[in-house]
Amino acid sequence: MKRPLPYQKFGSERGRIVVYFHGAPGSPRETALFDRLGKEYGLTFLCFDRFTLNRSLHGEAYFRTLAAAISEVAGGTPIDLIGFSIGAFVALQTGHLLESGIRSLHLVSAAAPLEAGDLLDAMAGGGIFRLARTVPTLFEYLSCGQGLLARAYPDALFSLLFASAAGEDRTLAADPNFKAQMKEILRDCFAKRTLGYIRDIEAYVQPWGTMLSDIAAETQIWHGRQDNWSPVGMADYLASEIPGCSQVEILDGLSHYSCLYQSAEGLCRRLARPAG
């Protein structure tokens, strides 16, 4: 018997369903940010643990499996999607397969296709993406090394990740609560689900921009002007290529994670509005 894809639930017990796609690195633990807001605004946040899916699933088969898992839980009810960072790429691919089952799509600190322009040099993680694209075996070894760091020296891995933090991400990185949560997220990702992380990154660095013209769902983009992980030009590109894009929020002073944290309440307010 096929085992259902596990997910974590936050917010209202019986609210409007919102599916959250975490980043890479990331884990369903990210979604805890929306727990209080979900209860306040009547929203039920679900985050599927996609990194646990069998490593043999690649390409469209991977995204179809995610879409099927979401459809099964939604039971025919239209849902909203939020994709953060690389999770925005996965949300776009999966949402495209869900078609009419999507009420709205929200892309936060979204990573655009690398073929959109000369982006790698402007990205804090550009070296990792270049390695994944050109020498995937070496990238996989590096990811496994990050797994060792996550287990034995989580503080060191956190410091490496946020060494180039910009804008309000620097303030977040100094917050003990944020640091503690991020270390758990990194441990979830690299110490337990490295192969799922590798799959997402290796899929992301391949050309995929042509599918954006097929995204008909109402789409809103939330992006920090100081984002150096997903440079703000990525938001401009996605807005220009997605026909259903109705609004772009460029937030001054914010970078990658700070955009997610500071836009969370405004995003929930919009999600709570009656459909239509």
Rounded average pLDDT per 10-residue block, the chain, 276 residues: 83 95 97 98 98 92 96 92 98 90 95 89 90 96 93 93 95 96 95 93 96 94 97 96 95 98 96 74
Count the domains in the chain.
Answer: 1
CATH code, 121: 3.40.50.1820
Q: Going by C-beta distance under 8 Å and a sequence separation of 6 or more, which residues neighbour residue 275?
A: 78, 103
The pLDDT value recorded for residue 2 is 62
In a domain, 2, yes or no: no
CA distance 207 to 203: 9
Model pLDDT for residues 156-188, shown as the tens digit of each residue = 999 999 999 999 999 999 999 999 999 999 999
- 276 within some domain: no
Quick check: is 37 in a domain? Answer: yes
CA R_g for the chain = 17
Count Cβ atoms within 10 A of the Cβ of residue 218 and give its class: 0-12 exposed, 13-18 middle, 19 or more buried.
middle
Domain range holding 238? 7-271
pTM of full prediction above 0.85: yes
Please report whether residue 250 resides in a domain: yes
From CA 247, how far away is CA 221, in angstroms rounded? 6
Residue 88 lies in a domain: yes
Cα–Cα distance for residue pair 128/256, rounded to 1 Å: 17
Beta strands at 43-48 and 7-11: parallel, antiparallel or unpaired: antiparallel
Distances (CA, A) of 74 to 70, 101, 158, 190: 6, 9, 35, 29
